[in-house]
Amino acid sequence: MPQYTADAYGDKDRYDRATAHLDAPLAVVDLRAFDANAADLVRRSQGKPIRVASKSVRCRALLERVLARDGFSGIMSFTLDESLWLARSGFSDVLLAYPSADRAGFAELTADPELAAAVTVMVDDPVQLDLIDAARPAGGSGEEIRVCLELDTAYRVLGGKVRVGARRSPLRAPAQLGALARAVARRPGFRLVGLMAYEGHVAGVGDEVAGKPVFSRAIRVMQAAARKELAQRRWEAVRAVRAVAPRLEFVNGGGTGSVQHTAAEAAVTEIAAGSGLYVPRLFDNFRSFSGRPAALFAQPVVRRPGPGVVTVLGGGYPASGVAGADRLPEPYLPAGLRYDPQEGPGEVQTPLLGTAADALAIGDKVWFRHAKAGELCERFAQLQLVDGDRVVETVPTYRGEGRTFL
């Protein structure tokens, strides 16, 4: 269950007052909650800079806001097209977190010295270097491309038969990282500047799931073992890469749920985080921190089918990942609403059940939390920035600027 019910009733009144002049559907970001969450991330990072994961924000105005704070530095992007757009918009340090096959984007990157200086691309296979070289201007010249290598962080037991963690980089052993580092160093037109290792099975998996004490205990045991194994392997990987590139600029690790653990590793120089700014519902289940839900969306009540039931417009915004109830938005305010199990959240309408429905009139707003952070912004062109009980600014999301990168 969410940790925020005690404060929820007052917040509904406040959000309703702030947006009384606006029709739903709409999305808001509570700036006081956003700033408080940012401050907590900085506290947990123990002095190491935080690189903001743009996929969890997807709004240039809010990226600018958080990067203006002490403790934040640089962006972790999710596509090459986005990276180039952000660099052209004035962001000077953009790390692309995923390998790309965008030939047109690489042609643009290799032809523009300002873009090449601002963007670092992710590589975990020499073939990706071939792809970049093939996109260079005629004659094979072009700008020197900044390169980051990615270490696979998955926790493996029983001789590798059991894997916990995302399937990302094929580079698992420090010797593999060292070999690719040497391949980059031998290749004209590339400069190795960074190493990344994202431990999603720690950073994105809650360890205190309400009503599941045995499962939560198992998660904590797994994560403790995974952190210990990864800390040693990450240190050895950094040593292997620095043997080739002694001026390595950064070693990136972490994620919202593991900020304080990753920051404690001497080998790590910066932390990645983004979801912790909005605090979507998937981040309710962590023992080590609690944030304030900052990003919400409202749907209007359009029907009252009967006692204990209201129907809102739309609302079927599932999050990515393994399909399940935890990927659905949460009816948040007023407290006490739940989905009809025969319908769930729908494409064009969503029935909601509960005694709280009887206090809602047609036209009232029901407030929801998305399961993930930035994916909410793919549904809305604007975010209403709320300070107290006022909307102080309306800013475009990526989608509102005509940008749908994925």
Counting every residue, how long is the chain?
406
Closest CA to 153 of 320, 272, 287: 272
Mean pLDDT of 312-334: 94
Closest CA to 147 of 123, 125, 168, 128: 123
Phi, psi dihedrals of residue 172, rounded to the nearest 5°: -110, -45
pTM: 0.92
**What is the model's pLDDT at position 125?**
96
**What is the model's pLDDT at position 219?**
73
Mean pLDDT of 46-59: 97
**What is the model's pLDDT at position 6?**
38
**What is the model's pLDDT at position 70?**
98
Helix 174-186 and helix 126-134, axial crossing angle in degrees, nearest 10: 30
The structure tokens listed for 190 are 């590339």
- The phi-psi region of residue 138 (left if phi > 0; otherwise alpha if psi is between -120 and 50; otherwise beta) is beta
332 in Cβ contact with 367 (< 8 Å): yes
**What is the model's pLDDT at position 141?**
80
**What is the model's pLDDT at position 27?**
98
Q: Model confidence at 4, in pLDDT bands (50, 70, 90)?
A: very low
Mean pLDDT of 6-20: 80
163-195 residue pLDDT tens: 777 788 888 999 999 999 999 999 999 999 999
**What is the model's pLDDT at position 1?**
34
Distance (Å, rounded) from C-alpha 29 to C-alpha 18? 11
**What is the model's pLDDT at position 154?**
81
**What is the model's pLDDT at position 235?**
95
**What is the model's pLDDT at position 207?**
66
Q: Is the pLDDT of residue 220 over 80?
A: no
Mean pLDDT of 68-76: 98
Mean pLDDT of 204-222: 71
Q: Count CA atoms within 13 Å of residue 24 on its CB side.
A: 25
Q: Is the pLDDT of residue 5 over 60?
A: no
Distance (Å, rounded) from C-alpha 52 to C-alpha 63? 8
304-318 residue pLDDT tens: 999 999 999 999 999
Mean pLDDT of 385-389: 96
Q: Is the pLDDT of residue 147 over 70?
A: yes
Mean pLDDT for all residues in the chain: 92
Handedness of CA 98, 102, 108, 110 (dihedral sign): positive
Q: Count CA atoms within 13 Å of residue 372 on its CB side.
A: 21
Pairing of strands 50-53, 270-273: parallel
Distance (Å, rounded) from C-alpha 393 to C-alpha 384? 6
Q: Model confidence at 202, in pLDDT bands (50, 70, 90)?
A: low
Q: Is the pLDDT of residue 406 over 80?
A: yes
What percentage of the chain reaches a pLDDT higher than 90? 77
227-269 residue pLDDT tens: 888 889 999 999 999 999 999 999 999 888 889 889 999 999 9
Q: Model confidence at 10, in pLDDT bands (50, 70, 90)?
A: low
More confident residue, 392 or 171: 392
Q: Model confidence at 212, in pLDDT bands (50, 70, 90)?
A: confident
Q: Model confidence at 275, in pLDDT bands (50, 70, 90)?
A: very high
The structure tokens listed for 147 are 């390169």
3-state secondary structure the chain: CCCCHHHHHHHHHHHHHHCCCCCCCEEEEEHHHHHHHHHHHHHHCCCCCEEEEHHHCCCHHHHHHHHCCCCEEEEEECCHHHHHHHHHCCCCCEEECCCCCCHHHHHHHHHCHHHHHHEEEEECCHHHHHHHHHCCCCCCCCCCEEEEEECCCCEEECCCCEEECCCCCCCCCHHHHHHHHHHHHHCCCEEEEEEEECCHHHHCCCCCCCCCHHHHHHHHHHHHHHHHHHHHHHHHHHHHHHCCCCCCCEEEEECHHHHHHHHCCCCCCEEEECHHHHCCHHHCCCCCCCCCCCEEEEEEEEEEEECCEEEEECCCCCCCCCCCHHHCCEEEECCCCEECCCCCCCCCEEEEECHHHHHCCCCCEEEEECCCCHHHHHCCCEEEEEECCEEEEEEECCHHHCCCCC
**What is the model's pLDDT at position 285?**
78
**What is the model's pLDDT at position 208?**
65
Q: Model confidence at 206, in pLDDT bands (50, 70, 90)?
A: low
